Every structure is written in structure tokens, then in C-alpha cells.
Structure 1
């Protein structure tokens, strides 16, 4: 007798889980860095155009493949076209490859969270704190495994009691934190060595308004490729995630 596949109990759970796989380190950490590096508004414009065209197409396609086949990414592509079996293998290899990367950085996050909760936030804000931590012999590895165990616990509990349950709890918290950080960033002021003061509102203007003045074709191509790469992080495509969620 075949075991019944677990599914999300509702649309909210699916949306929260899908957003949780996308709105993570790739957007909170990497996105602002790329936007600052790639002329702010120009990067945002390229990203949005790619998201509503190329990204939307990929996203809906992967979800549709999962819905149609009801299989894991490993076998879903082959179920549609036997010649696509290799795509399923590649889609499953990507999460395996990036898992150690995410566990290391996730360990950093858990470490800093524990530091702030225990009242040592001032020390953690120091310039040398992070360098001292990552150069330690055991601490980075210990915190990496703590994060790995936490992640494994959620996955082990399955779709309903694991991924969906914790996504409904953690995603609203993350949204609250992002809004708080965004509002706080608008109040920041910085005066450089020449005495020029820049505010968060000025940064927001650079962030939102595209400025192509003086930009070369090569620079624009680099920005376009950065936006394309960020898109894959943002919507979790080409990793088998949306195929699995759609199934």
C-alpha cells in the first residue's frame, strides 16, 4: 500500500514556506550589497523586469511540474520527458552543494542571536568580534552544527508539522524585523572624512531612482548578470524547491 504524500494544509502555509525559501540570506544580505554595488536603482529596475518576465515563467513552470507529476524533483522531470532525467539530478545536487554554505552562515546568525539574547550585544558590535569568532578553532563548527540540527528537526517533522508550521511562525517575525530594519535605516546619518553628511533618505533615493548617466555597456551587462543571479536566489528556482512544494 502506497503511503499518502503529505501536502500543505492551505494556501497560507504554502505561500509562507515558499517565501521562506526565497526571502533569506540571498535577499537580506546579498541583495542590498549588489544594489549598492550596481548603481542602486539601475539594479532594482533590471531585477524587477527579470522577475516579472523570466522569473515568473520559471517559478510557475516549476510549480506546475510538481503539481502535474506529484513527484520529487529527482523523478518529476523524467515523468514528463525521459530525456530530462538529468535535469532532476542537477536540481537535487544544487541544494546539496549549497547546504554547507548556508549552514556555516546560519551558524553565524544563531551565534549572534545567542550573543544578543545573553546581553553581550555591545561586544558583538565591535569590529574585531566577528574576525575573532570565525578564526576560532571550534566555535564556528559548533554553531554550524547547531544550525544544521535545527534545520534537520524542522525537515524531519515533515510538511505539515515541520516546514508549514514553523514557516507560519517565523515568516511574520522576519517580516516585522525587515520592516523595523528598513525604518531604522532611514534615520541613519553618516559624516565622512571630508565633512559631507549623508542620510538614509538620500540612500533611499539612490536605491529607487535609476541613473544611467556615464554607464558603459560593459557595466550594464555586469549589473544585468548580477540581477539575473540574484533572481535565482530570490525565487528559489533551478533548485528543485518549487517542484517539491508544488507536488
Structure 2
């Protein structure tokens, strides 16, 4: 165990690292898909309102718990109240479950980047290209392993030389790339075989302008809870990451200012992802191109890039570089949450904990990859979807454990330790706690109620 806990050198390093964790694959494909599905501007409105209330509450709570205890998620909750020690175990299980399949998907991103970088982007647009890749035996495993090793190399570098340094480099580049692609998407224009011309600006209108005529009470509730679910993907709460990162924050850092910056950066990138993807897909494929899940990124967008002609190959390379950066900053934070927990719980050195997590990731990641061929099966999940190994892991972590962690975190802070525990930590240097009323009401009443409904929906008790 390190004699003195490492910390981020400055608030900018912390903000970029936390934003890097939040800005991941969920922002790139899931936010645009939900925005397109859920009435565009109305989804964005709901998301922003929830980010400023629900998201803010959970984010500031977890970061403050981390800084107050100087512990990772496995041990931090017990520092607040010993009876909540099991909550730390569940919170640590979330990144343990997520890391292998996230790295498997990272391998898919690496495959598409290589394809476009080597001029094979047209082939990547073929109907069976994605399916043929994930169902093949060795290549997905090899690329997953490369991705895992790259992630581990950053984690082995530690808080300053690894996580903070990488975030300071990759996040500004990612932001510039996503802005460039977003602006380019608005300039697109295409006339299909039926003579119908579609433009990027028309796609922008679909993305931003809500259709209130199509809005019903049922669709409104669906949109609200889709936006709520997206927040878990977007701000990296309820998976121990922000507690681990919070434990590396210096006591003199203005937490409120940092949390606000993380909120702004993450929401802005999510909005820009929609600006980048929805107009592009609309121009070349119409509304039908907005397929759910990874299919948007690995099936629809390659077809869009191929339809652009020669410039599409360049855009495809830039896009998958951007996605690769977004993915790696997130997988680093997921792995770090596990490594930090092992260091704090068992007093291991970073290299020891890192090797254990690296081996686990390679083994479990291989099993995930084999889930599409040698270990393939189909299982109907409680929410009605049919999936295999990756889908089961995603369901258990995101739909079961994360709402449980978030709910009991609210109970711990809202009713047991009291909100003053967090407020005092945030304001220890004389800072103002903006949105104090919202925080108190949300942590005690609003967030627990929403989480109960979200959990009930996830396990199939009802659907909108």
C-alpha cells in the first residue's frame, strides 16, 4: 500500500479524468439513439433537467464520499457507516462485471478503426461485416486483449503519470474531433433513388425540435426514464468510479466548481454526439437508420461513411479515433475503480493489484468474445430482451446492481449519515453549496423514488 495516497495535481486534471470516465461509448451511440427515438428536443430537455438535479446529486455525493474517506468504493461506505459495508462490495462488483465486456466492445472499435485506417472502410459497410467479425473465433479475442493491455498500461502508470496525463491529452483531442465531425455533419446533403433530398440541417431539426403533437403521457414517461437510465451511462455514478476518483482529489479543491465543470463537459459531449450522428444517419439512411444499441455505431454509421465516397473513409478514421479515445478513458476509470479497491482492502501495491485485474480482464473478456460463437446461447431477460453473455452482464450491472447502489447511497446519505455529511465536505474551504435545497430534496425523496421505479421497470414488473 502506498504510504501517501496519490492525488490529482490540479482540479483540471481531475475534471478531465472524471469527464473522460463519463464520456464513453454510452454517450456516442446510446444518447443519439435515445434522442432520435424519444422525440428529440423533449428527450434533451428531460435529460438536462435530470442532469441538473438527479445527476448532480449522485455525482457530488460520490465524489465527496471519496474525498472525505480517501478510500475506494470497496471500503469507503464502511467509513461513513459500518452497517453499509456490503454496499461497497456491490458497488465494486459493478465495474468488475462491466470491465470485460466493455473491453470486448473496445476491441470492436479497434477493429473498425483498423479497417478504415487501412482503406477497408467500404468493406466495413457490408451487411454482414459486423456479425462476421464478432462471431469469428480469434480476431475479437486478440483485439480485446490489445485493448485491455492498453487500458492496463495507463492504470499501471498511476494517478498522475497514467490517468491524469492521459486525460489531459486525450480529452481535448476528443472534444476537437467531435466538434469537427459535428460541423461537417450539418453540411451533408444527399438525394436518394426516389429523388428525395435530405440535408444535415433537416436532421438537426429532428434532433433538437420536439414534436409536441406526437407527445403522449405514455411517451413522456418513457422519455423521462430513458433519460434517467442514460444518466447512469453518462456520468459514471453507481459504479464506484467517482468515489475512487474523488479519493484522489486534494482537500483544497473546489468540489462544487469541479462537479459543475464535469456536468457541463459531459452534457456538452453527449449533445455534440447527437449533433454528429443524427444528421449524418438521417441524410443517408433516413429515420430508419437509427437502430438501437451498438448497431448504430457498427452497422449504420459505416454505411453512412461509405455513402460519402472518398471523404467518408477519412471521416470514418477520424470518427473511430474519437470513439477509441472515448472508450479508453472510460475503461481506464472502470479498471482503476477495481485496482484502487484491491489496494485499499488488501494493502496491495498498484502493480500487484493491476496484474490481478489484467489477468481477470483477459480471461473474462475472452469468455465474452466466445459468447458469440463457442459459448453462444440465448436467454430471455426479465425486461423482455433476448441476449447472451455480454447482454446478461450488461443487464445485471446496469439494470440491477447500479440502481441498488444508487438507492442505498441515497438512503445512507439522505437518512442515516444525513446530507450535512456531504455538504460539510463540499464546503470545508468556505465554498458555497449551490442547489442545496435541490440536493436535500433529491437525495432524500426524489432520487430514491425514481430509482425504485427504474428498478421495477428493469426487472419487468411493468413497462410504459
TM-score interval, normalised by the smaller of the two chains: over 0.9
1:26 aligns with 2:22: no
2:94 & 2:59 partners in 1: Cα distance?
Answer: 16
Correspondence list, 1:213-228, <5 A? 213-228=213-228
Distance of 1:118 and 1:194 partners within structure 2: 33
Q: CA deviation at 1:82?
A: 1.3
**Whole-Å Cα distance in 1 between the matches of residues 89 and 146 of structure 2?**
28
Which region of structure 1 is more displaced relative to structure 2, 81-90 or 9-18?
A: 81-90
Distance in 2 separating the partners of 1:172 and 1:98 = 26
Counterpart Cα distance in 2 of 1:65 and 1:242? 9
Partner of 1:93: 93
Q: Distance in 1 between matches of 2:223 and 2:195?
A: 31
In structure 2, do the counterparts of structure 1 residues 105 and 43 end up closer, same or farther at CA, with 3 Å as the change threshold? Answer: same
Worse-superposed segment, 85-94 or 56-65: 85-94
Question: For 1:86 and 1:142, how far apart are their aligned partners in 2?
Answer: 36
- How big is each residue's C-alpha offset from its partner over 1:133-154, in whole Å with a ceiling of 9 and x where there is no partner? 2221211111111111111111
Conserved? CA contact 1:41–1:210, under 8 Å: yes
SS in 1 for 2:198: strand
**Does the 8 A contact of 1:108 with 1:140 survive in 2?**
yes
Q: Offset at 1:204?
A: 1.2
Normalised to the residue count of structure 1, the TM-score between the two structures is 0.94
2:16 corresponds to 1:16? yes
Structure 1, residues 153-189: CA drift from partner, whole Å, max 9, x if none? 1112111111111111111121122112211221223
CA distance in 2, matches of 1:185, 1:162: 34
Q: Which residue of 1 aligns with 2:124?
A: 124
Aligned to 1:244: 244
Paired residue for 2:5? 5
Partner of 2:139: 139
Equivalent positions of 1:71-82 (< 5 A) are: 71-82=71-82
Q: Distance in 2 between matches of 1:92 and 1:195?
A: 54
Q: Which residue of 2 aligns with 1:235?
A: 235
Give the whole-Å Cα distance in 2 for the aligned partners of 1:117 and 1:216.
45
User: Is 1:201 matched up with 2:201?
Assistant: yes
Residue aligned with 1:39, SS: coil
Q: Secondary structure at the match of 2:136?
A: coil
Measure, in 2, the Cα distance between the counterparts of 1:93 and 1:14.
24
Deviations 1:210-236 (A, max 9, x none): 222132211111111110011111111
Within 5 Å, which residues of 2 pair with 1:179-190? 179-190=179-190
| TM-score, normalised relative to structure 2 | 0.51
What CA distance in whole angstroms lies between the structure 2 residues aligned with 1:87 and 1:130? Answer: 38
1:5 counterpart SS class:
coil
TM-superposed CA distance for 1:209, in Å, is 2.1
Asked if residue 153 in structure 1 is aligned to residue 140 in structure 2, the reply is: no
For the residues of structure 2 that align with 1:127 and 1:174, how far apart are their CA atoms?
A: 29
Q: Can you give the 5+ residue segments of structure 2 that lack an aligned partner in the other structure?
A: 248-464
Equivalent residues, number: 247
Q: Which structure is richer in relative contact order (CA contacts within 8 A, separation 6 or more)? A: 1
Moved over 6 A (4+): none
Indicate how the Cα distance of structure 1 residues 201 and 220 shifts in structure 2: closer, same or farther if over 3 A, else same.
Answer: same
1:107-127: CA deviations, max 9, x gaps? 011112222333333333433
CA contact (8 A) 1:45 1:210 kept: no
1:52-72 deviations in Å (ceiling 9; x for gaps):
011011111111111111111
Give 2:434's aligned residue.
none
**Aligned-residue CA RMSD (Å):** 1.7
Q: Provide closer, same or farther for how the CA distance between residues 192 and 90 of structure 1 changes in structure 2, counting only shifts above 3 A.
A: farther
Structure 1 unmatched runs, 5+: none
Which residue is 1:162 aligned to?
162
Q: What SS does structure 2 have at the residue aligned with 1:33?
A: helix
Shift of 1:192: 5.2
